[in-house]
Amino acid sequence: MNIKDYILKAFITTIFLYLGVLFITNGCSKDWTEAIRSGNTHQEQFRQDVDIEIKNGLIFLPVSIQGQTYRFLFDTGAPLSISQKIQNALEYEVVSKGNIIDSDHNNQEVKWVQVDSILIGDISFQKQVAFIGDFEANPLLSCLEIDGIIGSNLIRHCNWRIDQNNKSTSLFKGIESLDHNEGITIPFKTDHQYNMFVDINIGQASLKNVLVDFGSNGSIALNHEIFTLLQEREILDSGFHENGSIQSGIVGEKAVLKRSFVYSDSVRIGNITLQDVLLRTGKTVSIGTKFLSQFIVTINWDNRTLHLAKDDSHPSLLCFPGFRLGYSNDLGMYVQSIVLKSNAYNEGVRPNMRVIKLDGLDFENGNNFCDYVDHKLSLRILMELSDSIGSRKIYQFKQTAR
């Protein structure tokens, strides 16, 4: 069975933060799709090893711009971006303008600027075009302290090897590939944004043009049409359902959330079949770092292939909390969404309840949303919540076994 192709123009994700962005040019001096074709590397041949930071399942690298070190998200599903703070300090020339529509269908104007030089280690990427992102608009992005995005239009200037387990990456150009014999090599296709797309299989279904998105900390996202079709063909079972709200777009506004997810033993990429892979509905068809962390991944732009070497040290998670928290000015910390039939749901936890305490965090006495973002949930969870009439209650439950 062949499911029709889905060509994507997507952007980024985290904690299940999903900033999926569609760019629309509004008639400035140069179309952004033309502008991002510019740039090069100063060195013609190099290998550079760089330590990476993993936070909330996302990859961060240090970059240097005009002698100042910044913290950038590594994201193959997004163009290069710098924060408004960097633009205010350096005042780069605006080369294009456009609108973005994020994953929650919020609209915002953005500007594109030319960054003269960005250093990753000792490697200089020159004349790179970046859009100016407001990384303070979304509370989660603010907690992650993102200064910018190492995006696809920069990444395509060399080859990369990403080893999440050892928290390292290698950039190389003009030398022999770092690929090893073990693992598999698969081709990828690309588009005007230099996104990468591969084909995967789920059971007997073949999915074409699946976005490789290192800016998502999710596993595999499928749009509702594909997810439903796979269930109708009994390739996927009924799984779980999550309801509430979501605040995942770069614009930062809340939207209604109704999402399904399931664990599958039938995902195949190349000749590798994987167990317990999380599949969920989303705005795009993509694979994120939760899936990719099972491999040492080599992105070879010279021949447009991905080499995946299985990392057997990757842990298998056997449970999930069953809820997600958010922050708003009116509620403070609150339950943003709940998974139906999870232990949290069965104990009475519901969306929009105000969160007073979570494990050892006390949100009325010093702790904040960023502490939650950094917090590793216990297997047995203790919460104190307040309902719509202000009644408080303590909830205790185990994370839900999948």
Contact between 125 and 64 (Cβ < 8 Å): no
Contact between 29 and 95 (Cβ < 8 Å): yes
The phi, psi pair for 117, rounded to 5°, reads: -155, 135
Q: What is the model's pLDDT at position 22?
A: 47
Q: Largest Cα–Cα distance in the chain?
A: 65
Q: Which residues of the chain have pLDDT under 50?
A: 1-20, 22-28, 251
Task: Using alpha carbons only, give the angle 102, 209, 19 rounded to the nearest 5 degrees.
Answer: 15
Q: What is the model's pLDDT at position 105?
A: 56
* pTM reported for the whole predicted model: 0.88
pLDDT (tens digit per residue) in 348-396: 999 999 999 999 999 999 999 999 999 999 999 999 999 999 999 999 9
Domains of the chain: 1-317 (2.40.70.10), 319-401 (2.30.42.10)
Q: What is the model's pLDDT at position 15?
A: 36
CA distance 235 to 141: 35
Strand ranges inside 213-364, DSSP E? 220-222, 240-246, 255-264, 267-269, 272-274, 277-281, 286-287, 295-300, 305-310, 319-320, 323-328, 332-339, 354-358, 361-362
- The contacts of residue 59 (CB under 8 Å, 6+ apart) are 52, 53, 73, 74, 162, 164, 169, 214, 289
Q: Would strands 392-398 and 380-386 be described as parallel, antiparallel, or unpaired?
A: antiparallel
CA distance 249 to 255: 9
Q: What is the model's pLDDT at position 138?
A: 82
Sheet holding 46-51, edge to edge: 46-51, 168-173, 159-163, 295-300, 305-310, 184-187
